[in-house]
Structure 1
Amino acid sequence: MKITVNGLDQEISYDRHGIEDLLAPLLWEWIAETRGAGRHYAFLAAPPGTGKSTIAMLLERVFDGELQCLGIDGFHYPQEVLNTRSIRGEDGREISLASIKGAPETFDVAGLERLLTRSHTEDVRWPFYDRRLHDVVEGGDLITAHNVLLEGNWLLLDEEPWSGLRRHAERTIFIEASSDLLQERLVNRKVAGGLSRADAEAFYLRSDGPNVARTLSGSDLDSVDLLLTMDVNGALHERKAS
């Protein structure tokens, strides 16, 4: 099946069990419970490499108008901002935000919070990230659905200001996978995009790897509604939170 994710065409396989037997029942139940006024959100969080954007798009097809799926990548700071801002690392050195693009600090969480709050009672346009431009684009899709699934790496991160967003979520889903598997998937993705394997592996160590580790270790899973594990074939299986 060919779909477009973040401006790029992708050929994907369909995990019928994960989509139809695990995710869909939870979301259908939630939709049935939230009939009425206002807009309602569920959060899907996962580390890089789990294919959460693709899963969200497949779910949108399955629900055929009953569910709108959005990502948080449009809330990256614009590239011109990332190029001019920095944070202080643990060793005291200044780190350019552009060099760690994708980390929690490179997102406009306050802007995400404001738009989420507005969207509960009004239709708003949702910004998106275009991977061809490598930048955010304002004035994207209009949110019109009664129920919205929002996906992103950091939606369940147990750190302020991210943890404050959880008040918007009536259902939460987290997908985990082994760091070795995610490294293989992410390096292969970069190679498919044109990087040499050496450059792809260097990028993983510099950017994707720390984000994978931070998502897996720093997300709050104590009260997650559905915890899924992705296997080496990309299939999803339910796991009870400990």
Structure 2
Amino acid sequence: MEYKANINGIDIEVTYSQESIDNIFVPLLHELSKMHDDKKRRILVMLAAPPGAGKSTLVSFLEELSKEIIPGKKVQAIGMDGFHRRQEYLLTHKTTVNGRMIPMVDIKGAPVTFDSDALRSKIQEVCREKSCKWPIYDRLLHNPVEDAITVDGDIVLLEGNYLLADIDGFRNLSEFADYTISISAEEELLRKRLIDRKEASGNTRQKAEKFVDFSDMANVRLCLTKTRKADLELLIDTDTCEYKLK
């Protein structure tokens, strides 16, 4: 099935196989629907994956698919990218990498460049309140947009790199989730995707490769090695780029 969407300001076109839809995504939506019925309250699902694993597109697709599969429930996809620190902050603050001080903007996307306290507070609000505002990240603006959407779904799909990460600032975030999903993939596949995405946001190929190799790939390795076990674990097949059960 072909799926087109605008994710964080960039037009995306992907294809999901009928096998993945029938064997993974449809059963997942039915399970979440039953969980909502049983708990009689909002269900928060956390999907964690390395950069380039397609998590934003996947939760957007699941939201769209849910309209057909579980039409009685409102499934809503949101992301943690709205909690990037603002570009102005990253340009004026430094952090230590490999023993030297560098501007935070040089490693934008690393855990330290997110406001994890604000993320935790907002997650608690999602769990507590019937509806609340949520920020988004616009890749063309290179900044978050505050209060961009209203979270009021029955089943909320929250995606992000570090939601299941066993690292300072993000540790135990998954305690707020009713259900967790993780995605893993080969490093080289993720590297290619990240370079393509960086180039699509207005960078030269050379600049995109330099940033990905210096910054993004460190985050990829962190996500692949420091992520806690999830209720559902998926793997991107290197040959077909399809999601499979791990």
Asked if residue 153 in structure 1 is aligned to residue 161 in structure 2, the reply is yes
Instruction: Give the number of equivalent residue pairs.
Output: 236
Paired residue secondary structure (2:15): coil
Deviations 1:23-80 (A, max 9, x none): 3313421321233554221111111111111111100001125311110000111111
Matching of residues 188-203 of structure 1 within 5 Å: 188-203=196-211
In the alignment, is residue 225 of structure 1 matched against residue 231 of structure 2? yes
**Whole-Å Cα distance in 2 between the matches of residues 182 and 191 of structure 1?**
14
CA contact under 8 A between 1:19 and 1:55: conserved in structure 2? no
User: Equivalent residues in 2 for 1:5-44 (5 A)?
Assistant: 5-35=7-37, 37-44=40-47
| Secondary structure at 1:80 match in 2 | helix
- Residues 1-242 of structure 1: matches in 2 within 5 Å? 1-35=3-37, 37-64=40-67, 65-91=73-99, 93-122=100-129, 123-221=131-229, 224-232=230-238, 233-239=240-246
Evaluate the alpha carbon distance shift between residue 196 and residue 85 of structure 1 in structure 2; reply closer, same or farther with a 3 A threshold: closer
- Paired with 1:173 and 1:63, the residues of 2 have a C-alpha distance of 17
Tell me the SS of whatever aligns to 2:92. Answer: coil
Q: Aligned AA for 2:143?
A: D
For 1:225 and 1:214, locate their aligned partners in 2 and report how far apart those are by CA, in whole Å.
20
Q: What is the distance in 1 between the residues matched to 2:112 and 2:21? A: 31
Alignment partner of 1:12: what SS? strand
> How many angstroms does 1:164 deviate by?
2.4
Q: How does the TM-score come out when normalised to structure 1?
A: 0.90
2:126 maps to amino acid: S
Question: What's the RMSD between the two structures over aligned residues?
Answer: 1.7
Structure 2: distance between partners of 1:47 and 1:138: 24
Unaligned 5+ runs, structure 1? none
Q: Could you tell me whether the CA contact under 8 Å between 2:166 and 2:172 is conserved in 1?
A: no
> What letter matches 2:237 in structure 1?
D
Q: Is the 1:39–1:121 Cα contact (8 Å) retained in structure 2?
A: no
2: CA distance between counterparts of 1:23 and 1:54?
A: 13
User: What's the TM-score, normalizing by structure 2?
Assistant: 0.89
